[in-house]
Amino acid sequence: MPIVPSRSGRIQELLGRLASDAAAERDSAVAGLRLLAARVLEPLGSFLAGASPAGRLAALEVLDGIEDRAALPPILDLVRDEDDAVARRAIEAASARSDPRAVPALAAVLTGPAPGARRREAALGLVRLQATGAVEALDPLAARLLDEREDPGLRVAILEALQALDPPLAPATLRPLLKRLATSPDPEVAGRAASAGAGRSGQAPSSARLVELLVSPGQSPEAVATTVAAIARRGAAAIPELVRALEGLGPLRGASAASLRARAALHDALAALDSRVALYDLREALEAGPRAVMPALLRAAARSGDASVVPGLARAVAEETALLDACAEALAAIVAREKLRKTSAAVKAVRPEHRTAFSLLWERAKAVRPR
């Protein structure tokens, strides 16, 4: 009578290969373990306790290929994994199973302190679960959508995913959400919701519209910050509109208070996009030192991190010592980005009459932790 190798021995041999440093060995083990189906779940649980991130990812591939309901709990355990790649793969696997038991685990990730990419993956996973009939998945999604403290990028991603559902959400569910969101202070969220509520494509407001909103009179600092963030999410495509708006303001000399506020906001937005295309204008504005908008100009200087504004910072402190702390924050960011030293050309460009102020500024900047 022939001797048949025990299935237990085969599983242990495959698990040993699953822990291999070689990707080909792990892939081969995944294929073998999937064939053994639910029988591998218990030993796979023991394997996960001491596995490397690569091993845990391989184990997820095994679990993802086992249709048995008992495969879901170990997948859900991994959505909280310390390794982001493992956690995100677990979220993807959990949301693909059309099992409402995954909703609480993904909702906990979405509402918790997890990294942004993981929270976004959890949100999209909840949308997928909702689409397959897990109606309870909509509650945590709606809570994030309606929370004005939430990251606008995440809110937009959730809104887009819900709008793309096929079949769509019931009008009785979607319309109240869109009505609330259309009044959001975030222009991108409000614009998408208003378009969708009106039966249009749900497109975000154009870069030109956002820039127009940015420079319109009467904007509060909070509204400006929100619009700058919306423009920053557009990326480099928004830069030409910002430059055109800046050029449309005309010369700095003799500018009105409203024009100065608009100029500072435009520089803030350009710096948020890491653009230095209008750096010359920022330097001139800092040299002019308009007190009412100096905080915004200094924030732009810190974001751009360009060393050429250092003489302007020294002059600002020399003329107004109350600006020392704000200028020190900007200088600290520039030092960190440009690896600035006292022997650097930008430092040598500080005028002699501003040297005393610059020494004070340099010492204060050394105590500042760059943001």
pLDDT tens string, the chain, 371 residues long: the values are: 343 345 678 888 888 888 888 888 888 888 888 888 889 899 898 899 888 999 999 999 999 999 899 999 999 999 999 999 999 999 999 999 889 999 999 999 999 888 888 999 999 999 999 988 889 999 999 999 999 999 888 998 898 888 888 778 888 888 899 899 989 988 888 888 887 765 555 556 778 888 888 888 888 888 888 888 888 888 888 899 999 999 998 888 888 888 889 999 999 999 988 888 888 899 888 888 788 888 889 988 888 888 999 999 999 999 888 899 999 999 999 998 888 888 899 899 999 999 999 999 999 998 886 55
Residue 198's pLDDT is 58
Residue 22's pLDDT is 87
Rounded to whole angstroms, the Cα distance separating 355 from 315 reads: 9
Residue 4's pLDDT is 36
Q: Look up tokens 């021995």; give the residue.
A: 9
How many other β-carbons are positioned within 10 Å of the β-carbon of residue 197?
A: 16
Residue 264: which residues within 8 A CB-CB, separation 6 or more?
285, 290, 293, 296, 297, 300
Angle at 207 between CA 202 and CA 211, to 5 degrees: 125
Q: Where are the domains of the chain?
A: 205-276, 305-371
Note whether 141 and 111 are within 8 A (CB).
no
Residue 204's pLDDT is 62
38: amino acid identity, one letter: A
213: amino acid identity, one letter: L
Residue 167's pLDDT is 78
Residue 2's pLDDT is 40
- Positive or negative CA dihedral for 30, 34, 40, 44? positive
176: amino acid identity, one letter: P
Residue 204: which residues within 8 A CB-CB, separation 6 or more?
156, 188, 191, 192
Residue 229's pLDDT is 85
The whole model's pTM is what? 0.62
Joined together, the tokens standing for residue 135 give 């109606």
Rounded to whole angstroms, the Cα distance separating 333 from 33 reads: 52
Residue 197's pLDDT is 65
